[in-house]
């Protein structure tokens, strides 16, 4: 039975609606607007915030972030581990609140990656910045970010005979969910997707190759965007406007290239079981799996590593449309449309918490009836080299 710890809950959420912002909107503007609306969603106010979590993506550091917002927090946490920063931060907020160090924690995210035309996926190393041991060994080879994930997919296909058709199931399911989410449809329209409707496995298999074996429809978009999450203590959560979404388990880990290591295994193999053990739930009980879909391989590897199925059996597990919200099977994957088809401004982890909370409140556009348990599993850095995987397990009463 799921643990009944009720120390901290997500009580306020906001997802910035636009994926293409104007030139006069900064990342910090997105963070501030999202903070205001997430606090309104909770029925809390600016002055209630006593813990601030920030990954530095807005350009401000730990000394400056409270200053800009105008908060006076006594917990300041600048954990920055790429796209899963927000799962790590949610875990830290839970611990800080449980320890009595804070009552209202605010996590925000903002990015104008699209408007700045950042070539995140296909830019490759530039050979700039201070040299590091890793960059000196990796910059000369033309490894793009997408190629780093493609190497994992390649090895997975070699080791386990996973097929392109199986990987494509992940793109097809998330796109179905995106077509039901007006903000995702607008995102795909504004970002000039070739089509904004449902896609077939064949569509994925015939889309343009970017870094073999990853094709265009297996890759996330590059958008603007952001959001905010308010996490509060039990006492505060009793009086907030919406049904609290309790944090009942968390796990954090990083992984990196090792001599003789298995590249198909993510850091989720370390952090996932910790989160599930703490929550007292089995993967098979999870209704909603919000798993960072930077690429199809990211989802497949993490599903396996979190024990939704055995290692190497992810291909068979996702077959037959299982991940769709209306398949009648658990879990439903990325019911907001995911990074593949709704929102990916560079660090998607916050959206995993947002949609998981919407599902457990009953507010999703692809609502799974009576959803009670969700996992948000972020992945940051690069799956094929050094990366982070943070898992948060959420429950409603």
Partner 1 sequence: MTTQRVPRPQPRFPEPDTEPFWKATKDHKLTYQKCNDCNTVVFYPRRHCTKCGSANLAWHTSKGLGAVYTFSVVVQNRNPSFRDLGAYAVGYVDLDEGFRIMTNVVGVKNPSTDVKCGMRVKVKWEDQPGGEISLPLFEPA
Q: Which stretch binds partner 1 (CB under 8 A): 86-94, 209-217, 223-231, 306-314?
A: 209-217
124 binds partner 1 (CB under 8 A): yes
Q: Please, which of residues 23-62 interact with partner 1 by CB under 8 A?
A: none
192 binds partner 1 (CB under 8 A): no
312 binds partner 1 (CB under 8 A): no
Instruction: Work out which of 59, 61, 131, 197 binds partner 1, going by CB under 8 A.
Output: 131
142 binds partner 1 (CB under 8 A): yes
194 binds partner 1 (CB under 8 A): no
**Identity of the residue, 23 or 133, whose beta carbon is nearer to partner 1 in the bound complex:** 133
Distance from C-alpha of 250 to C-alpha of 180, rounded to nearest angstrom: 30
Distance from C-alpha of 309 to C-alpha of 29, rounded to nearest angstrom: 41
**Identity of the residue, 56 or 213, whose beta carbon is nearer to partner 1 in the bound complex:** 213
Distance from C-alpha of 304 to C-alpha of 365, rounded to nearest angstrom: 27
154 binds partner 1 (CB under 8 A): yes
Q: Which stretch binds partner 1 (CB under 8 A): 16-24, 82-90, 166-174, 258-266?
A: 258-266
123 binds partner 1 (CB under 8 A): yes
Nearest to 168 by CA among 212, 133, 202: 202
Q: Which stretch binds partner 1 (CB under 8 A): 42-50, 125-133, 265-273, 365-373?
A: 125-133
Distance from C-alpha of 382 to C-alpha of 49, rounded to nearest angstrom: 33
328 binds partner 1 (CB under 8 A): no
119 binds partner 1 (CB under 8 A): yes
Distance from C-alpha of 348 to C-alpha of 343, rounded to nearest angstrom: 7
138 binds partner 1 (CB under 8 A): yes
254 binds partner 1 (CB under 8 A): no
Which strands sit side by side in the sheet containing 332-333, from one edge to the other?
75-77, 51-53, 104-111, 225-233, 8-15, 245-255, 387-395, 373-381, 288-291, 332-333
**Angle at 322 (CA atoms; ends 308, 329), nearest 5 degrees:** 75
Instruction: Work out which of 91, 152, 221, 332 binds partner 1, going by CB under 8 A.
Output: 152
- What b/e readout covers 97-112, taking b as 16+ CB neighbours within 10 angstroms? beeeebbbbbbbbbbb
Q: Please, which of residues 349-388 interact with partner 1 by CB under 8 A?
A: 384
For 34, the token pair is: 């999202």
217 binds partner 1 (CB under 8 A): no
213 binds partner 1 (CB under 8 A): yes
Nearest to 175 by CA among 107, 221, 234: 221
Tally of residues, the chain: 397
Sign of the Cα torsion 340, 343, 346, 350 reads: negative
Instruction: Work out which of 61, 182, 257, 320 binds partner 1, going by CB under 8 A.
Output: 257
In whole angstroms, the minimum distance from the beta carbon of 195 to partner 1 comes to 20
397, 166 contact by CB (below 8 A)? no
10, 247 contact by CB (below 8 A)? yes
Residues binding partner 1 (CB under 8 A): 119, 122-127, 131-134, 136-144, 146-148, 150-152, 154-155, 158-159, 209-214, 257-261, 263, 384
């Amino acid at each position: 039975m799921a643990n009944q710890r009720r120390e901290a809950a997500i009580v306020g959420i906001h997802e910035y609606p636009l994926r293409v912002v104007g030139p006069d909107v900064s990342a910090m503007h997105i963070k501030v607007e999202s903070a205001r609306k997430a606090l309104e969603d909770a029925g809390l106010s600016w002055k209630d915030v006593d813990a601030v979590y920030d990954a530095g993506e807005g350009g401000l550091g730990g000394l400056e972030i409270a200053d800009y917002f105008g908060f006076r927090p006594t917990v300041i946490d600048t954990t920055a581990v790429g796209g899963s920063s927000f799962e790590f931060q949610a875990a830290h907020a839970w611990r800080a609140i449980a320890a009595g160090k804070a009552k209202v924690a605010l996590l925000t995210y903002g990015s104008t990656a699209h408007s700045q035309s950042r070539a995140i996926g296909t830019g490759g190393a530039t050979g700039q910045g201070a040299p590091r041991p890793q960059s000196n060994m990796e910059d000369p080879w033309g490894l793009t970010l997408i190629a780093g994930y493609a190497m994992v997919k390649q090895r997975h296909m070699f080791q386990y005979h996973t097929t392109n058709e199986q990987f494509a199931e992940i793109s097809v399911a998330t796109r179905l969910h995106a077509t039901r989410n007006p903000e995702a449809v607008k995102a795909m329209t504004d970002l000039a997707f070739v089509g904004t409707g449902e896609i077939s496995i064949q569509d994925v298999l015939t889309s343009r190759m970017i870094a073999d074996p990853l094709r265009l429809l297996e890759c996330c978009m590059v958008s603007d965007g952001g959001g905010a999450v308010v996490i509060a203590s039990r006492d505060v959560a009793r009086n907030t406007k919406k049904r609290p979404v309790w944090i009942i388990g968390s796990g954090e880990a990083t992984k990196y290239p090792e001599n003789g290591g298995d590249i198909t295994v993510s850091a989720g193999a370390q952090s996932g079981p910790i989160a599930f053990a703490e929550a007292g739930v089995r993967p098979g009980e999870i209704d909603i799996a919000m798993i960072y879909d930077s690429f199809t391989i990211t989802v497949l590897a993490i599903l396996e590593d979190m024990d939704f199925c055995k290692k190497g059996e992810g291909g068979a597990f996702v077959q037959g449309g299982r991940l769709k919200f209306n398949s009648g099977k658990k879990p439903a994957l990325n019911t907001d449309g995911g990074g593949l088809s709704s929102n990916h401004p560079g660090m998607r982890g916050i959206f995993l918490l947002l949609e998981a909370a919407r599902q457990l409140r009953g507010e999703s556009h692809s609502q799974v009836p009576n959803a009670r348990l969700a996992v948000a599993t972020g992945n940051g850095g690069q799956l094929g080299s050094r990366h982070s995987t943070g898992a948060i397990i959420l429950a409603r009463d």
